[in-house]
Amino acid sequence: MRIGELAERTGVSVRALRYYEEQRLLSSERSGSGQRRYAENAVGRVKLIQQLYAAGISSASILEMLPCVVTGVAAPEVLAKLRGHRSSVVKQIEELQETLLQLDTVIAGATKAYTTGVPCPPS
Amino acid sequence: MRIGELAERTGVSVRALRYYEEQRLLSSERSGSGQRRYAENAVGRVKLIQQLYAAGISSASILEMLPCVVTGVAAPEVLAKLRGHRSSVVKQIEELQETLLQLDTVIAGATKAYTTGVPCPPS
DNA sequence: TAGAAACCTGACGTTGACGTCAGAGGTAGC
DNA sequence: GCTACCTCTGACGTCAACGTCAGGTTTCTA
């Protein structure tokens, strides 16, 4: 498929896809005239990249770990980094869950205060 | 307390604290000579700010929601935004959990492949 | 009462993941 | 074969959350 279709199917901009290629996170065949052609599995690849970005992992780290996602083999040092990222993700989840509790408290308190017209006691 | 102590106690840089004040997320008294003096509860405030930043919430949004964290009262439109952020946080958590599964799969597969010397089949 | 350490206000620099624009060539439907 | 849309390669712009440096003042400690 061409870049526009891949963009549409992944919800990622054309610019971003070119950027991924620039960072060597995503590869493409080229047509005779130089246009990018992507295989079907590029969709999954792009979604994986987005997921890792969302976990706060940088291009460089993603570049490092992508080969082992594909091949399933990782050198010990890469494996160590993977574990490091894993624990970072765990920590992020924990922090977000704490934030969620905070938000819930605020929302609950604010809702109640608004409906009763009585402000909550200061914390 | 002075800014250096607050920085140390919160693990946030002095520059960041000044930035928070610039964004009106954090306030301080000033000594006669113009130095910032913080009350004890500033520690909690800074940690809350950090938490919201970690949830991907911008300064502007934090500024909007901070008063209702303090007063416990929120106008309906602010409340709607709070709920929006809440669901965004929920979504982030879900995505991170998915990422965690991916990482676990890769780590497990790569560890096995490395110990057995046999690469995993391509996905 | 030194002098080191902390603090002040600008103000410019940084970084990553793109956005956007220009100018030129490619492609598909009619 | 016309036309509207898609794609190409540069290359500069953006934005948020600070980092960093300069040049000066304040506060603590010996």
Residue type at A21?
E
Hey, which residues does A30 pair with through a beta bridge? A36
Mean pLDDT calculated for residue range A60-88: 87
Q: Show residues of chain A in contact with B98, CB under 8 Å.
A: 51
Q: How confident is the model at residue A119 (pLDDT cuts 50, 70, 90)?
A: low
* Residue pointed to by tokens 């995993």: B120
CA distance B31 to chain A (A): 26
With contact defined as beta carbons under 8 Å apart, do A123 and B66 qualify? no
- Residue B123: pLDDT over 70: no
Decide: A107 and B83 in contact? Cβ < 8 Å.
Answer: yes
- Does residue B5 approach strand C to less than 7 Å at its CB? yes
Place of tokens 């549409």: A8
**Residue A72, CA atoms < 13 Å, CB-side half-sphere:** 14
Whether B72 and A120 have beta carbons less than 8 Å apart is answered as yes
- Predicted confidence (pLDDT) per residue in B14-57, tens digit: 999 999 999 999 999 999 999 999 999 999 999 999 999 999 89
- How many whole angstroms separate alpha carbon A29 and alpha carbon A17? 14
> Contacts of residue A95 in chain B, CB cutoff 8 Å?
51, 54-55
Query: What's the average model confidence in pLDDT over A108-112?
Result: 81
Which ranges in chain A belong to alpha helices (H)? 3-10, 14-22, 42-54, 59-71, 76-116
- pLDDT value of position A105: 87
| 8 Å CB contact of B99 and A68 | no
The residue type of A63 is L
Cβ of B119 and A95 within 8 Å? no
Q: Which positions of strand C lie within 7 Å of protein CB atoms?
A: 6-9, 16-20, 25-27
Nearest to B54 by CA among B93, B83, B7, B19: B93
Q: Is A33 exposed, middle or buried (0-12, 13-18, 19+ CB in 10 A)?
A: exposed
- Give the pLDDT confidence of A1-30 residue by residue, as tens digits: 999 999 999 999 999 999 999 999 999 999
Cα–Cα distance measured from residue B67 to residue A75, given in angstroms and rounded to the nearest whole number: 50
Nearest Cα to Cα of residue B82 among B60, B96, B64? B64
Contact criterion met (CB < 8 Å) for A69 and B106: yes
Q: How many beta-carbon pairs under 8 angstroms link A with B?
A: 139
